[in-house]
Structure 1
Amino acid sequence: MTDEISTKTRFRVGGMDCASCGAKVQNAVSRLAGVDAVEISVTAGTMSVTHRGDVPVSAIDHTVKWLGYTVALADQPLKAAQAGHHDHDPDHDHGTPETAVWWKSQKVVLTALCGLALVLAYIVGRIVPDIGHWAFLAAMAVGLVPIVRRAVAAALTGMPFTIETLMSIAAIGAVFIGATEEAATVVLLFLVGEMLEGLAASRARASIQGLANLVPKTALVETDGVTSEVAASALRVGMTILVRPGDRIPADGEIIDGDSAIDEAPVTGESIPKRKGIGEAVFAGTINTDAVLRVRVTAAAEDNTIARVVKLVEEAQESKAPTERFIDQFSRVYTPAVLVVGALVAVVPPLLFGADWSEWIYKGLAVLLIGCPCALVISTPAAIAAGLAVGARRGLLLKGGAVLEGLRKITLVALDKTGTLTEGKPVVTDIVAFDRSERDVLSLAAALETGSSHPLAVAILNRAKIDNAPVPPAAAAKAVPGKGVSGTVGGKTVFLASADAAGETVALSPDQFAQITRLNDQGKTVSVLLVDGALAGLLAMRDEPRADAKAGLRALTDAGIRTVMLTGDNSRTAAAIGESLGVEVRAGLLPEDKQRIVRDLQSSGEVVAKIGDGINDAPALAAADIGIAMGGGTDVALETADAAILHGRVADIANMVGLSKKVMRNIGQNITIALGLKAVFLVTTIAGITGLWPAILADTGATVIVTLNALRLLNVKFPSEGRSRREIGEASEWWS
């Protein structure tokens, strides 16, 4: 028999509102023939099935629906739940915030019916006391029958110990000891708790769906000068789209005509629009503010930046953090243990000490409700999902909870120079003129470089554009191999040369030579302008640090994290950049050298995060405890790294670490709340102070509280948002 290749298929599951739901679906689908692994994200409502051969979708569909949920392939919409399948409404669970109508969901309807039945039972009991017991029994049945059905379905698919099982035993047991009214109330409270869980879960999903909804539904496609409106989902690579002022850009693309300020705040959180022109990339969901643009589409709808972010976040939510995996394993032992403890509480005092059977059975049933593990199990994934979502909305992609959890342990950050700490492209930093104006020096140099795509030529032309310097036409412009470029401008012979080549043509004075040396010592490349054989001026260029690099590094230092620059650039340039940023420098490194240094640092006890472009730094990124790719949009090498900073902000490294600490602190709070409430109600129940209905609050109430506490993370603001560079450096206060 030949080995079959494993493939992964993603589904959307409607109705998973808590960790118990996810565990039931995961367990049942895992038991299907040919299925190797099942990964569930409750908060995203997704399931990834790794299988050998063709596992029929119908088999998965049947299994999931038997448990009471709806299911569809990830690229297909969910259909409404069939009558009697489950008290969940997929439109509520997975609809967008604009279309979801929460009060129409079957979960809300069932809760309302149970509540109405309980009120009617109370009225009947007051009017005809003799049938009050049966009225409350009927009211309880309205809510309990669906719960029992789900408990049976879970048991038949290999999960006998679920919250529905505990709930069913407690409610039915209460009837047998005559506490029917209280049992009916407990069932209603349980349904109210589930309803609130559903509302909280839908808000978590909406945080990611809100990102997807940034992309407009339609686009203006231009074909042979004729513009027509089409669905944005129909856009294909190579199409030309027209984007009017005020419109959202419907696809990733490259500007082919026009110049406008692009508001990227909805995607990146940047408050200041970026001016972009011909040849520059734009991303779906950003806003064109002030001029008409023609954009060539570079990615289809399913591959644009936002679609990739949504997909990566949903996949990341399916990857469990170490804490979450521990809680899952703990709950598998914990739930059966609760049943044992409940049974012991019910039978030991009457058997050994002659206590009242009815009283202690009642307490045992209450213990079952107190011990429901939902709040504990959801405490970690809810916070992890919120953290992943808030990071994604700000261009911080993390491949799973393990990465998010691990970031807080980082003790050293190793950064690449070019494109990470610096912008990745040279700019003109200094213009020195001799016997003429700096503007003339810039104009003559730009005239020679017109039409060139060399990075230094682009730097000179950009500076001329910024300074509004005139660029006269050049005649007979040509490259002089290894020396520079020459031509005729305004009847004068002009030569833009390297310092060495210029020294071969004219004699440099000691002062001029000293100026060139000083600029070189600052890591700058110096070009010398000669006009008719005489020295006219100098232009110095360097790949400058990112605007927030110094403050971003200081934020890491303030948090007690060491920083080091690992670069393949020459020592002089690297040292100059390192000195200006206040970072330790190791220069002249090959890719394998960077990897070796990362491993040496790890062996000395450091927990290392490596930041780089994700391509040249691939070996070091792979070797680091956490590899983070720094880049923009679709150019980020996510395949190598564990995480990515899409928008190239050095301050976002500190933001990632800060987010990790906040998430883990939130998880600690959630676990404390979940276990603390259970401990309090356990003591009060054994002491006879509280009974069944307060006991259910210990579970459903705690579940709602921890979920809402986790969702507070969605409102986290990073220190760099809308603040000065100085304030970015004070991020340590945010982490404390």
Structure 2
Amino acid sequence: MEDKCCSSNEKEPIVIESNKGCCTSQAKNEKNSNAEIVDHCCGYADENLNFVNRTETDIVAPCCSRNDDDTNQNTSTEKSSCCSSKIEENPIIHTTSVEGEKIEYRIRGMDCPSCALTIEKGLNGLHDIKEVKVNYNTAKLQIVGNDSLSFNQVENTVQKLGFTAEPLKQNKNVRTYDVEGMDCGSCAKSIENHLNTIPSVNSVSVNFSTGKMKVEHENSADDIVSEVSKIGFKASVLENNTKKHTENPKNKEGYGLITFTGILIALGFIGSYNGISPILTTILYAVAIAISGFKPVKSAYYALKSRSLDMNVLMSAAAIGAALIGEWFEGATVVWLFALGTALQNRSIEQTRKSIRNLMDLAPSEAWIKVGSELVKKQVEEVSVGETVVVKPGDRIPLDGEVIQGETSVNQAPITGESIPVDKLIGDTVYAGTINESGSIEIKVTKLVKDTTISKIIHLVEEAQEQKAPTQAFIDKFASIYTPIVFLLALVVIVLPPLLGFGTWEEWVYKGLALLVVACPCALVISTPVAIVSAIGNAAKNGVLIKGGTFLEKAGAINAIAFDKTGTLTEGRPKVSEINAFTASEEELISTALTLEDYSTHPIAKTIVGYAKDKGIQSKNGKVFKSIVGKGVQATIDGEIHYAGNLKLFEEMYIALANVTAKVNEMQSQGKTVVIIGTQSEIMGIISVSDTIRTTTVKALNGLEQVGINQVVMLTGDNEGTAKMISSETNVNRYFAELLPEDKVDAIKQLQNEGHKVAMVGDGINDAPALATANLGIAMGGAGTDTAMETADIILMADNLEKLPHTVKLSRKALAIIKQNIWFSLIVKFIALILIFPGWLTLWLAVLSDTGAAIIVILNALRLLKIKE
């Protein structure tokens, strides 16, 4: 058996060498029993059995075979249609046997194979690591290290290199918590800094956007919750990454305290104009400061203790400073406005987080299991693969499975965003969280609750929300520099002018306190993450998974989209349309074609195989099957080599093709794909296959034109005639025909060299090199393909293009709102800074400008949740 990736004159069986991920001779590696199955060949063995690097365009197809001396069995793993042997469905990742602890991570942020090499080199420098492997295509990192190696050490190193690493197998000491009360990124930083001061905490990561905290700790969860409460927030453990969310009564108490302190301030203010004793009004203000200021002052204490300079510190300093210089009304107003603004911000931010919680609530928590003739209710966590679930009309389907009894129509909108219910018959796949519309059905469970499609969607969306977009990362860095600079400037304003005799201490202390409030960059920091979370939540609700803010920004910037033809623009389910037998009977021609194509996974091959089997035609006895890259396949039948392939394959054999060429050209001009069957001496016949354009293709491409995509390109391995016909029917701007897999990469690069930001749309498996080369990779049909979820940057869960215009529109709207928020935040800060020095900016006005701007920014971002197709 020989893989496409390797030299055609390589006679020895092949293996995949684990460190290089490349095809080499079995003679070179005959003692290596730990060969790894990898995604792509990056090289091959020359005639002297030396390793030769391939260039990027040499990467033509995934390696998918190896030979195991111990078992004398050929094993292969499906990553594309390159193998000529039978294949297994799921890849298995092997780690070379080295003593030490084995850890596996998911890597985020790699955009080319060189990134994987960068990570490998960076991690190899750590003392506790023995072996490192990074697989770009699966985004997985495998490490073999000493017992002293911690995941925190690995994650920090990967992060320094510009990527993120997440353990695939969760450390038993790592727990995820839900944190309530954070209203900007500085709160998350304060929690991180405080927990990092505790000896029993090894590492902590707090994400403001999702309200989640991951802590690796040796002490109890109650201790962590207690420590978080010290700095003014509420944490609760998420068991199995789920938690029932209910309205927290303390939130209502919080509004009650805000109302009460507001009344105290109003009474004091009115009393100061009605002859009430100044001492009494001061007491009213002091009580208001004590009630509203207790939480921020407590949080500020722990923030300073952990060397954080967050808004609690700034607001507390402003309020206490105002009281010390006798401005009790100003101090009370500062803490009251701050408390009110924080409560309103929290309430608004919760709207964005509900988009994920709503997804979690889609799948029912219980299922009716058929046991013999009885129905038993079970928790979905207790249901095993293979059990039979009964779903009545109107109920939600609890787990992914296959229909084994009954017929119905299912509303799949929660998964794919499709508005029209899909008919389901025996043998069809159904997904957890979808709604059984009509008939009662029985389902054989195929996935555990943690592995269902809806669970993966939730996990991917949460991961996406945790990834910082380039704009957000820049803003966070800007804020980390801006805040301490303005804080120091405030101290200078408080101390220097009165020392130099320019005005009184009270005057400059007041201005310095106002500057402290302006130093809080809350609106600016919150401007980007809330918009990104809202957009990703909207997309998920409509059946589109965007894997992070980076890809959201890229989607908003693209101006050209390249489509793979088969299975993307077309149905991908071609049919045999015409058979022309020349030197053999029609039955013999089909039998030979069946024998040749039975081991191929190419859609055209599958069509011919399916047609032959439907006709009841038997295959011949074939041997020595080989795949010929971009041309066809060959096998030895009855002692003679037979071929099935395109015209180019037979032209290279110098067979007389005059009549055949004319017939092939005629068929191709009609948009048909032609498979020629023959030997080295004759052409036995021609089988033509045709594919149909998807019903949604034309509408989707027109929609892309309306949202400003000026280049819609089709990439296909089909001939010029087929490509021309399909392009005219779909109104694509241009097409590239007769492409080998590596030629698709060249086509993407050509578009990029022309100045386009290019997105590539494919099935997420066979087009991996082109998807990786494009600025943005978009996979179709993620609901039925686990690999598509792994490889692409954006996933269209339904197997159609209808959601693509909405995705581009949503992304562009998100970029516009992010820019609006950033400019609005900066302008408000700039105006506030200008108003300080003439003395026009009061403390309460400074707080109002900060919290008010933050609320406006959040509300503006929330508009993204409402955008419809």
**Are 2:535 and 1:409 aligned?**
no
SS of 1:397 mapped into structure 2: strand
CA drift of 1:703 comes to: 1.0
Match of 2:517 in 1: 369
- What per-residue deviation string (whole Å, max 9, x for no partner) do you get for residues 305-346 of structure 1? 221111111111111011101111111111112223333444
**Is 1:275 aligned to 2:426, yes or no?**
no
Letter in 2 for 1:626: L
- Of 114-123 and 12-21, deviating more is 114-123
5 Å-filtered alignment, 1:285-304, equals 285-304=433-452
Measure how far apart 1:265 and its partner are: 2.8
Q: 1:699 aligns with which of 847, 850, 856?
A: 850
Cα displacement (A) at 1:74: 4.1
1:20 match: secondary structure:
helix
Q: Does 2:396 align with 1:248?
A: yes
Is the CA contact 2:673–2:722 (under 8 Å) kept in the aligned structure 1? no
How far, CA to CA, are the matches of 2:475 and 2:558 in structure 1? 23
Q: Is the Cα–Cα contact under 8 Å of residues 568 and 587 in structure 1 kept in the other structure?
A: yes
Which residue of the partner structure matches residue 493 of structure 1? none
Residue in 2 that maps onto 1:508: none
Find 1:631's aligned residue among 781, 786, 793. 781
Give the 3 Å change call, closer, same or farther, for CA 621–285 of structure 1 in structure 2: same
Give the match's secondary structure for 1:135: helix
State how far apart, in whole Å, the 2-side matches of 1:10 and 1:670 are. Answer: 34
Q: Which amino acid aligns with 1:178?
A: G
User: Retained in 2: the 8 A contact 1:598–1:623?
Assistant: yes
- Correspondence 1:100 to 2:100: no
Once the two structures are aligned, what percentage of the paired residues are identical?
Answer: 39
- Does the Cα contact within 8 Å between 2:402 and 2:426 map onto a contact in 1? yes
Which position in structure 1 is the counterpart of 2:747? 597
What's the CA shift string for 1:639-690, capped at 9, x where partnerless? 2222211112323333222222111111111112222222333334433334
Pairwise CA RMSD: 3.6
TM-score normalized by structure 2? Answer: 0.65
Q: Structure 2 residue aligned with 1:708, among 855, 859, 862?
A: 859
What amino acid does structure 1 have at the position aligned with 2:834? Answer: V
Cα offset, 1:164, TM superposition: 0.9
Write out per-residue CA displacement over residues 120-152 of structure 1, whole angstroms, 9 at most, x where no aligned residue: 766887755433323321221112122111111
Give secondary structure in 2 for the equivalent of 1:222: strand
**Distance in 2 between the 1:698 and 1:189 partners?**
10
* Number of the residue aligned with 1:662: 813
Distance (Å, rounded) in 1 between the aligned partners of 2:663 and 2:440: 46
Q: Deviations over 1:538-581 (max 9, x none)?
A: x9863322222123223334514423222344554444323322
Asked if the contact 2:667/2:673 (under 8 Å) is kept, the reply is: yes
Partner Cα distance (2:455, 2:409) in 1: 23
Instruction: Report deviation, 1:353.
Output: 5.9
Match of 1:382 in 2: 530
C-alpha spacing 1:455/1:256, structure 2 compared with 1 (3 Å): farther
SS of equivalent residue, structure 2 residue 433: coil
1:311 aligned to which of 459, 462, 472? 459
Q: Which amino acid aligns with 1:144?
A: G
CA apart distance, 1:73 = 5.1
How far is 1:56 from its partner? 5.6
Q: Which amino acid aligns with 1:271?
A: S
Matches within 5 A, 1:454-465: 456=607
Structure 2 letter corresponding to 1:615 = I
AA aligned opposite 2:757: V
2:208 corresponds, among 34, 42, 46, to 42
Matched, 1:115 2:259: no
| Structure 2 contact 415–797 (Cα < 8 Å) conserved | no
Displacement of 1:190 = 0.6
- The one-letter amino acid paired with 2:514 is A
On the 8 A contact 1:113/1:142 being kept in 2, the answer is no
Counterpart-to-counterpart distance in 2, 1:32 and 1:591: 54
User: What SS does the aligned partner of 1:155 have?
Assistant: helix
> Does the CA contact (< 8 Å) of 1:102 and 1:199 recur in 2?
no
Tell me the CA shift for residue 64 of structure 1: 3.8
Partner secondary structure for residue 363 of structure 2? coil
The residue type equivalent to 1:17 in the other structure is D
Q: Distance in 1 between matches of 2:522 and 2:817?
A: 17
- Per the TM alignment, residue 71 of structure 1 is displaced from its structure 2 partner at its CA by 3.9
* Residue range with higher mean Cα deviation, 36-45 or 275-284: 36-45
CA distance in 2, matches of 1:581, 1:102: 56
Instruction: Please tell me whether the aligned partners of residues 782 and 789 of structure 2 are also in contact (alpha carbons under 8 angstroms).
Output: no
Deviations 1:34-74 (A, max 9, x none): 9897554323111346x7xx766658656544433344554
Q: Deviations over 1:609-636 (max 9, x none)?
A: 2221111112222222221221241414
Q: 2:799 aligns with which of 631, 648, 652?
A: 648
| Structure 1 residue 287: Cα displacement | 1.5
CA distance in 2, matches of 1:411, 1:31: 48
Aligned to 1:423, the other structure's residue is in SS state coil
- Uncovered stretches (5+) of structure 1, i.e. residues with no partner: 79-93, 432-452, 462-473, 483-497, 499-512, 528-538, 719-736
Cα pair distance change 1:166/1:477, threshold 3 Å:
closer
Any unmatched runs of 5+ in structure 2?
1-126, 130-148, 152-166, 580-602, 622-643, 645-660, 676-686
SS of structure 1 residue aligned to 2:713:
strand
Give the direction of change, closer, same or farther, for the CA distance of 1:29–1:556 in structure 2 (3 Å limit).
farther
Cα deviation for residue 596 of structure 1 reads 3.9
Cα 1:572–1:36 change in 2 (3 A) is: farther
Aligned residues of 2:575 and 2:690 also touching (Cα < 8 A):
yes
From 728, 733, 746, the counterpart of 1:579: 728
The Cα of 1:370 is off from its aligned counterpart by 2.6
Q: Structure 1's 417 and 317: CA in aligned 2 closer, same or farther, altered over 3 A? A: same
Match of 1:422 in 2: 570
Is 1:202 the equivalent of 2:350?
Answer: yes
Contact 2:183 2:345 in 1 (8 A): yes
CA displacement 1:293-313 (0-9 Å, x = unmatched): 222222222221221111111
How far does the alpha carbon of each residue in 1:367-406 deviate from its partner, in whole angstroms, 9 at most, with x for none?
Answer: 2223311111000101011111111111211221111112
Q: Distance in 1 between matches of 2:244 and 2:846?
A: 33
Residue 11 (structure 1) aligned with residue 176 (structure 2): yes
Q: Distance in 1 between matches of 2:420 and 2:381?
A: 29
Tell me the residue number matched to 1:336. Answer: 484
Secondary structure of the 2:258 match is helix
Aligned residues: 625
CA contact (8 A) 2:577 2:689 kept: yes
**Equivalent-residue separation in structure 2 for 1:553 and 1:40 (angstroms):** 41
The 3-state SS of whatever aligns with 2:514 is: helix
| 188-197 or 410-419, larger mean C-alpha shift | 410-419
Q: Match of 1:399?
A: 547
Contact 1:10/1:46 (<8 A) preserved:
no
Aligned CA distance change for structure 1 residues 624 and 10 (closer, same or farther; 3 Å): farther
Separation in 2 of the partners of 1:32 and 1:562? 55
Q: What is aligned with 1:90?
A: none
The 1:522/1:103 distance shift into structure 2, 3 A limit, reads farther
The amino acid across from 2:726 in the alignment is I
Structure 1 CA distance for aligned equivalents of residues 253 and 674 of structure 2: 72
Change (3 A) 1:228 1:570: farther
Change (3 A) 1:405 1:170: same
Distance 1:405 1:38, change over 3 A: farther
Q: C-alpha deviations, 1:243-270, integer Å up to 9, x for none?
A: 2121121222222222222222344332
C-alpha distance in 2, partners of 1:542/1:648?
A: 20
Partners in 2 of 1:74 and 1:568 — Cα distance? Answer: 49
1:163 equivalent in alignment to 2:306: no
SS at 1:546's partner residue?
coil
- Please point out which of 690, 693, 709 is paired with 1:542: 690
1:176 to 324, 336, 339: 324
- 1:2 alignment partner in structure 2: 128
Residue by residue, what CA displacement relative to the aligned partner does 1:696-727 show, whole Å, maximum 9, x if unpaired? Answer: 11111111111111111100112xxxxxxxxx
